[in-house]
Chain A
Amino acid sequence: MDTETRPETEPETDRRAIIRDAIGIGVATGAYGLSFGAISVASGLSMVQTCALSLLLFSGGSQFALVGVLGAGGTAVAAAGTAVLLGSRNALYGLRLAPLLKVRGIKKAGAAQLVIDESTAMAVGRDSGRAARLGFWATGLSVFVLWNLGTLLGGIGAQALSSPEALGLDAAVPAAFLALLAPRMRARQPWVIALTAALVALAAVPFVPAGVPVLLAAAAATVLVLKGRAK
């Protein structure tokens, strides 16, 4: 993605390239927001709840997880817990961004909401602090606006449907998770973790309340990772 890191480029050209990329990522994420809006409403959330998630939680994977657990009959605690665990990676992004953004006070409060996969990817690895800040803000704001717009339109679309299952929307949720998981499966360790988590979750399903199997899988992965420290 760092096609604009040539040392001799004009700063103005750089700026425009960064903004163009930011809008492109926003449009792609907006399309993804369409599917979130549709799936959330199909899972039993109202339009207002669906839009509140995209405005307030604003982290795609966590939002899909939250509506997925609720849709399967999980408790509020299990749904929120899964979403927060999945959002823990944003704290690591924040750590990498803090020295680049150098924000304080109200600006930091606003920047925090925009700390997501896309804005981080567009900020780190830039030549200058200015380019990093522009990459972060342009991408974060573009994704925020278009993700929320997509959510609204997708939700309205799904509300018009009588039976979401007839359209296979329940099968769309695991497919969305698969698309998010695939890029993380490029080494041996993630495969061990993924298979262990899947087995633990399935084994727990008959015995514990809905939503809890996913949390048990997270606990198992944590134990696995801490035991494998020798590597």
Chain B
Amino acid sequence: MRVSNRFIALLILPSFALYLIFFIVPTIQALIYSLYDWSGFGAAPQFIGLSNFQELLNDRVFWRSIGNTVGILIVGGIVVFGLAFVMTMMLSSGIRGKKFFRGVIFLPNIIAVIALTTLWGYMYTPRTGLFAVIFDAIGLTDLARFPWMGPDTITIAMMIAIVWIEVGFYVVLLLAGVDKIPPDFYECAKLDGASDWQQFRHITVPLLSDVISIGMVLWSIHALKFFEFPFSFTGLEPNPSSYTVAVYLYILGFGQRQPIYRLGYATAIGVTLLLVVILVVLILRRLTRREVVQY
């Protein structure tokens, strides 16, 4: 049956209309507002050209927030994917209770972020937190008093929690890919004397390349706009030294605690973030582009 172009267009129209209304138009509006000095209140916005972007270049807090965000993107990404691979291999090795373990690993993804930050905050609390109680019980009193959420370790503490939350999603993603690899490939490889590592490197990774590529793109987009966890993990009012770009944008534009209300400048941060996301995704797509693997 041949489907007419007009019919295809008709089917696409609702999605395109929604995309236009909720993404394209706001994006264009954001591009426009980023060129204005505007509090977001009624007063007329004042056109200032690229001044907001110029100011960003010298904004110490913005660059610190970029550093934090890139840290989550790269360090967090390496750990998340490293752990996801290990868990995927373990779960696909024929162990009993695969579905149960997969569910348990994925569980943090369906819990409200505020509950997770509260949970991790409790675990890290010196003296009375879960880690403190465990370390006390085994006689490691110095570790029991260790300030996990202190200035030197708060980023690592946050990263550990983020990895714990995120890894489940990527395990499920990779497992779905692994499940589609015919078992014959592994059996043949075993007959040829391939080690587990060789099977992983020469069969699993190449055949998962598309899934890995999509996973990396998803992680990058997610990491670059990380907001909920850092915002609620660091207490009542996030310390500016632990801002991510999205948190800084929110603080400047929406006056959460302090009535800053620089919506024009915050929009410039948003536009910059959008450009960075597009750039990172393009780079990743280019780096992971390869021929279709067939055996």
Q: Do A and B come from one complex?
A: no
Query: Taking beta carbons and an 8 Å cutoff, which residues of A are in contact with B?
Result: none
Query: Taking beta carbons and an 8 Å cutoff, which residues of B are in contact with A?
Result: none
